[in-house]
Structure 1
Amino acid sequence: MKYKFGAFLLATLGTGYAYSKYQAHKEHQSQSSWLISDAIKVLKPFPPIKSVADYQKLYQASEQPYALPKNIQLQFGFKARPDNADVIELNEFNEDNERIIFYVHGGAYWMQPIYFHYAMLHHLAKELNARIVMPIYPKAPAHHAPEVHDMILDSYKQLLAEEGVKPENITFMGDSAGGGFQLAFMQKLRDLDADLLPRRAILLSPWLDVTMTNPAIDAIQPLDPMLNTGQLRFQGEKYAGPLAPSDPLVSPIYGDSSNLPPIDVFTGTHDILFADAKRFKSLALEHDWDVNTHIYPKMLHVFSSLPIIPEAKESLAEIIDIIADAD
């Protein structure tokens, strides 16, 4: 799903400046973050699935190969790997493989990466002198969790097979579905071969439980301008395919996160997935897992990918410090 910047700006600017300033002050958040939340209510970036026709359209889209947009190539320098067109890279800032971000993008496992993914990753690459590697995994509903795990494992092993690439130089990152996947993937890697694990992981608004059964979600739903509990539950079931939605490969909150690298979770309180981020934090404290949770009041889903808001800039600065300090 691509954001249309003209529509985005029109919707944002359509809200009265004085009113938005008042509301933002009242809610104790930045004016720009309040405006974006209000605009998202109008734009509805995740199309509703209300009919068989809606589903069939999305099914057909999930069968199509991904083509890296020309504007992304020109503006940010991302390229498909010459030996694997399903892996997108940015290698402009670091060619010695001393700092790599292995990124799995979000979109409920149904959608391709959007402009804001690339803009955020370009910023991180530039600030950290890092190489970005992002597998474009097969999408639901035509494809399911086992296929996604197989593809990303192959992509990761391909990366490790390159000269000079070591797991201790790699940070796993992911947003939303991609964040949930990275936790499930690390649990799987630990069981396959702990030597494959990366240096650390950073999860942005991770989707940790596709069953969406946490009762705390209900109180957050009216505050979330972006996500819908029922639709996510449906999309999660389709992504799971032959697996149960509660299988740790699909919903890693039900898995064992012991003996994993340090994990930093970034989450906002106006995101329905915040409920499970809090639950994961409690589990980490109970089991002594190495998890640090960064909670941003009033922030919406994957707010870190919206660098025009101060809270996003603050979170990205934190992320940059975390990765840099790990060296």
Structure 2
Amino acid sequence: MRLTAAQLHRTRHPLWSSADKVREHMALPRHSAPVPHEFYQVNHVVTDQVSVPAGTFTVHHLVPATDAPRDTPLDICVYLHGGAYINGLDDRHWSFLTDLAAGGMKVIVPDYGLAPGFGATAARDLLDTVLTRAAEEAAGTGHRLCLAGDSAGGGLALGWLLTTSRTGAAAAIDRIGLISPWLDVTCTTPGLDALIGSDPWLHPAGLRIAGAAWASEVGPDHPLVSPLTASDDLLQTLPDVGIWTGTRDILHADATVLTDRLAALDGRTGRADRTEVSPGAIHVHPLTRTPEGRAARRDIVAWLARRN
């Protein structure tokens, strides 16, 4: 993990430590990385288009390529990618998604619109449609539905669940997995500033610009974009919550606050909530090609598939 951290110090940190550079980056054309060629060797992939008031978005459906027919019913995981709401899917996500599908699940990946062209309300509308369809499919075959995401995708997943009535699609979700989640777009979580010096990748100066663009329609204190602002009553309604975080990540502060708040709620007794802290690990370390990353990845897949 030290080598990865050193590489990030030389490459990524300058972007996030500069508000101006993030603004310049948001002014450039940005798209998700295409599905890698080798991905098709181990997965069946179907891509469709979902239209909501803000536009039409691509949604990928992945199932592992096995001897079973590709339409064999499976448990479903809807996965939301990270990227600070201004970057799309990249090769690290596709690698992780391959392992998630190999865990025996159908994986649905909405390629939601990025800020500043799109914001949280467009993503919410897209998720309303995607998760409603996924819940209907799971119910029709007697299978489970879970929700997961990394970084901004984790924040979006939790924000959607907290601001959606616990009926219909939201009620069908039995677990939510959060990898280094970004849970406060203002980056004012207690303890965050103390982690700036040890994080080789992220910096609040740039993240706040991206977060403000994403939250422009609802405001930065809305639970959809900053789930840590949600009331305890809303947190009580959540299904089982799994969190994976590293201590060389400024967003470890967000994960810590959420963990502590969930643990303090009497109504969550009996829930399978868990938080795994990796000392010295960087942001979204389960997506890295490191021993720590691979171990965390296996743990996440097993938890989402209810094997642990």
TM-score normalised by the shorter chain: which range applies? 0.7 to 0.9
Q: Larger RCO: Structure 1 or Structure 2 (Cα < 8 Å, ≥ 6 residues apart)?
A: 2
Conserved? CA contact 1:80–1:89, under 8 Å: yes
**Residue 230 of structure 1, CA deviation:** 1.2
SS state at 2:29 partner: helix
Task: Say if 1:52 and 1:294 are closer, same or farther in 2 by CA, change over 3 A.
Answer: closer
In our comparison, the structure showing a higher alpha carbon Rg is 1
Residue from 59, 62, 70 that aligns with 1:87: 59
Amino acid at match of 1:249: L
In 2, Cα distance between the equivalents of 1:132 and 1:180?
19
In 2, Cα distance between the equivalents of 1:168 and 1:116?
28
**Residue 193 (structure 2) pairs with residue 218 (structure 1):** yes
Amino acid at match of 2:12: K
What value does the CA root-mean-square deviation take over the aligned residues? 2.7
More strand by share: 2
Aligned structure 1 segments of 4 or more residues deviating by more than 6 angstroms: 51-54
Moved more, 287-296 or 250-259: 287-296
- Listed one character per residue, the Cα deviations across residues 241-280 of structure 1 (whole Å, up to 9, x for unaligned) are 1212111011111112112210000000110000111111
In 2, Cα distance between the equivalents of 1:41 and 1:75?
34
Look up the match of 1:4: none
In 2, Cα distance between the equivalents of 1:46 and 1:314?
29
**Residue 170 (structure 2) pairs with residue 186 (structure 1):** no
- Listed one character per residue, the Cα deviations across residues 213-232 of structure 1 (whole Å, up to 9, x for unaligned) are 12411111110011011111
In 2, Cα distance between the equivalents of 1:49 and 1:152?
31
Conserved? CA contact 2:42–2:98, under 8 Å: yes
Residue from 64, 78, 99 that aligns with 2:75: 99
Q: Which runs of 5+ in 1 are unaligned?
A: 1-32
More helix by share: 1
Conserved? CA contact 2:74–2:104, under 8 Å: no
Residue from 278, 285, 289 that aligns with 1:296: 278
**Residue 248 (structure 2) pairs with residue 270 (structure 1):** yes
**TM-score, normalised to structure 1's length?**
0.80
Q: How many residue pairs end up in the alignment?
A: 291
Q: Which runs of 5+ in 2 are unaligned?
A: 51-56
Look up the match of 1:317: 298
Look up the match of 2:173: 198
**Residue 292 of structure 1, CA deviation:** 1.5
**Residue 95 (structure 2) pairs with residue 119 (structure 1):** yes
Task: Say if 1:250 and 1:163 are closer, same or farther in 2 by CA, change over 3 A.
Answer: closer
**Residue 188 of structure 1, CA deviation:** 2.7
- Listed one character per residue, the Cα deviations across residues 147-191 of structure 1 (whole Å, up to 9, x for unaligned) are 111112112223334476569512211000011111111113344
In 2, Cα distance between the equivalents of 1:280 and 1:149?
21
1:1-327 equivalent positions in 2, closer than 5 A: 33-44=1-12, 47-48=15-16, 55=23, 58-61=26-29, 68-69=34-35, 71=37, 73-74=39-40, 77=43, 79-82=45-48, 84=50, 86-93=58-65, 95-126=71-102, 128-162=103-137, 169-193=144-168, 196-255=171-230, 256-288=234-266, 289=268, 290=271, 291-306=273-288, 308-325=289-306
